[in-house]
Chains A and B, each alone.
Chain A
């Protein structure tokens, strides 16, 4: 593929795609000093290595990238060569504008056809603590190339196609991450990671889709596995954790009931009270009174 760069403030091709900040391919025949300095940008970037060997620093950690590797650089993360050098070789990249909501989740924007809950699940996976490099991830290379071709040829339906391909990149990256972090052998360990994630974000309105995506399973298989392993459906299991955390908080007189309800992930103190009573026989305030 030939070298090219499209940038949103100059390229007519990107007129219909304000969310694509930049897309390009570079072929670099000789080392260029100051050609790849470390920078932090607001958007999300995906790189795919075509030729050569690159030593980059992502979030202050050194990585070596070979052809076939992809790098995911989240908004606000630093990327560049430690000596600011652009090394010999070739890579393609895309730089996408993503939003951030009040829960600090990445929001793709109205161009994406992902539903809100899928978008949340995706954000969870992308923001989990894992290395930014996806090795031998040729799907990313193919998708980037297809987007470039669509933008160049502008055949009928290309606006929809480009946005579909962008969604596809996000989906493939998220799936690849879940596959790597859950090799499908150790369910107890995987379930424990999920439990810890649920406890860390107990106030979040978890959906089964989100939980399943963290474990790297489709929702049907996920439901089945959780049920046979834990004896409960994923949402009932989550309620067990919520109520047991609530019990601990109720035993401390300094937190009010509404705060406990919201902190443990109930919609309202009413919802909290009904669920709590159904399981324990006491309303939260009765339970607290008995304990003081």
Chain B
């Protein structure tokens, strides 16, 4: 029997899945890796800790499940979070930690670009919103603030590049991860000279640019031995978690979109054209030469409801977040849509799409004397979904959407799926106990191996088993509240700036 292994280097965890050639899951394991915040704006991870954790999880999966059942591993396909930057010296030794997508140290560099004609040019060429998340601004920050380190840098890698290089010795970056750096011209599929100049680097300081189907060399002998894998095991460069989530949900072309709600969230579509947004609100990432993944990310996903639960949940047992959340949700379900006039702006961590305002802050609006805790529960969840709806509406300015799929640990909660259907007034497809990102990587590998003729062919094979339909009446109510939500968000821009500056002082 033969199998495919997918490795996701996610924000908080390494997740490894094994699939048989038909796409049935054989097993999965995860390992946690922490994010360090040595300064309030910093988010970093230890690249060697991620490497070791990945090896350890992989070894356990192989020894517990794959080898005992005598599966032959044909292919290992990688995928990772976007926007990470790791500086290495001439020998490939990391100069410090990996800077992750959540890091905001390059705020100033991003703001400088955003207000310039150069910025506009770079956004149009690269498809990456001008925001401190992008490696373009992070590298510029290192150049501007850590001169000594900058001079020692031989290459700037993505996290996935580093992990692959440890395993095979090759420095490679795939199209999709590269297209989220702000350094890649997504129309020409080549490094963008304007970006390189702004970052202060040359293309020799970046890894080799390759399609997602590329084999990243051979597994080093020592790893073949320690993992019990044969020398012909394919190591596929693979793609990004965002692109794999949409692939795994079978979303492609007009009419379809997908929502991911993990700690953070995103609304995405895929097609053969770039969505050019005058207001620079949308990202356009490249999966292959003719597949663009477009959409908007939000900071305000499940992490906001977790925050709420930590403050107001019961915690009958220590650290029992899950049951405390379920209890709160059960309370919130008793309240009618619109939370009887209580509206929540979920911007506790600032916001990305569609407002791209790091200073935005949370607001409960419309409180009256009859509101109870349950109203706050419901309003919090509605606020999180209103934010995603506002991204969806931005995308709909460019593309028609008839149905939506939803995935992610929060997205898959039943209460969430129904609310998404009602708010968007569209049918919502989903599958429980299904990990879209990993399945996307399986589809990518299966396409590379010839099991599917093409990406389009692979996408068509996806069946999400469940579907909820919208309640028209509820939709009408939500729309009334959403209008106020939208107006509040835009009206409070000045107050957001003022309160954020007080909070930072």
- Closest CB in chain B relative to A202 CB, distance in Å: 12
Q: Which residues of B contact A291 (CB under 8 A)?
A: 91-93
- Closest CB in chain A relative to B373 CB, distance in Å: 16
Q: Which of A8-16, A100-108, A126-134, A183-191 contacts B (4 or more CB under 8 A)?
A: A183-191
For chain B, residues 294 to 330, give those with C-beta under 8 angstroms from any C-beta of chain A. 310, 313, 315, 317-319, 321
| Total of A-B residue pairs, C-beta within 8 Å | 85
A240 touches B227 (CB 8 A): no
Question: Of the candidates A195, A251, A286, which one forms a contact with B34 in the assembled complex, judged by CB atoms under 8 Å apart?
Answer: A195
Q: Which residues of A contact B29 (CB under 8 A)?
A: 231
Q: Which of B49-57, B144-152, B205-213, B385-393 contacts A (4 or more CB under 8 A)?
A: B49-57
Number of interface residues of B (CB under 8 A): 35
Question: Is the C-beta of A66 less than 8 angstroms from some C-beta in chain B?
Answer: no
A232 touches B56 (CB 8 A): yes
Q: Which residue of A lies closest to B320 (CB)?
A: A184
Interface string of B458-489 (1 = CB under 8 A from A): 00000000000000000000000000000000
Bound together, the chains give a CA A248 to CA B93 distance in angstroms of 8
For chain B, residues 3 to 40, give those with C-beta under 8 angstroms from any C-beta of chain A. 13, 29-32, 34
Question: Is the C-beta of A221 less than 8 angstroms from some C-beta in chain B?
Answer: yes
A281 touches B32 (CB 8 A): no
A192 touches B34 (CB 8 A): yes
Question: Is the C-beta of B192 less than 8 angstroms from some C-beta in chain A?
Answer: no
- Closest CB in chain B relative to A123 CB, distance in Å: 23
Question: Is the C-beta of B223 less than 8 angstroms from some C-beta in chain A?
Answer: yes
B227 touches A281 (CB 8 A): yes
- Closest CB in chain A relative to B393 CB, distance in Å: 32
Question: Of the candidates A184, A247, A251, which one forms a contact with B318 in the assembled complex, judged by CB atoms under 8 Å apart?
Answer: A184
Question: Is the C-beta of B225 less than 8 angstroms from some C-beta in chain A?
Answer: yes
A186-B310, A278-B226, A281-B227 known; A232 and B31 CB under 8 Å?
yes
Question: Is the C-beta of A166 less than 8 angstroms from some C-beta in chain B?
Answer: no
Number of interface residues of A (CB under 8 A): 37
- Closest CB in chain A relative to B468 CB, distance in Å: 29
Question: Is the C-beta of A229 less than 8 angstroms from some C-beta in chain B?
Answer: yes
For chain B, residues 86 to 110, give those with C-beta under 8 angstroms from any C-beta of chain A. 91-94
Q: Which residues of A contact B56 (CB under 8 A)?
A: 232, 236, 239-240, 279
Question: Is the C-beta of B48 less than 8 angstroms from some C-beta in chain A?
Answer: yes
Q: Which residues of B contact A221 (CB under 8 A)?
A: 318
Question: Of the candidates B32, B48, B225, B226, which one forms a contact with A230 in the assembled complex, judged by CB atoms under 8 Å apart?
Answer: B32
Most buried by A among B32, B51, B59, B227: B32
Question: Is the C-beta of B1 less than 8 angstroms from some C-beta in chain A?
Answer: no
Taking Cβ atoms with an 8 Å cutoff, the residues of B that contact A are 13, 29-32, 34, 46, 48-49, 51-53, 55-57, 59, 91-94, 220-227, 310, 313, 315, 317-319, 321
Taking Cβ atoms with an 8 Å cutoff, the residues of A that contact B are 182, 184-187, 190-192, 195, 216-217, 221, 225, 229-232, 236-237, 239-241, 243-245, 247-248, 251, 277-282, 286, 291-292
A sample of 29 inter-chain contacts (CB < 8 A) reads: A185-B310, A185-B315, A186-B310, A186-B319, A195-B34, A217-B319, A225-B319, A230-B31, A230-B32, A232-B31, A232-B32, A232-B56, A239-B56, A240-B56, A244-B46, A244-B49, A244-B51, A244-B52, A247-B48, A247-B51, A247-B52, A248-B94, A251-B93, A277-B226, A278-B226, A280-B52, A280-B223, A281-B227, A286-B222
- Besides A237-B32, A239-B56, A240-B31, 11 more A-B contacts (Cβ < 8 Å) are A230-B32, A231-B32, A232-B32, A240-B52, A241-B49, A247-B52, A278-B226, A280-B52, A281-B225, A281-B227, A292-B91
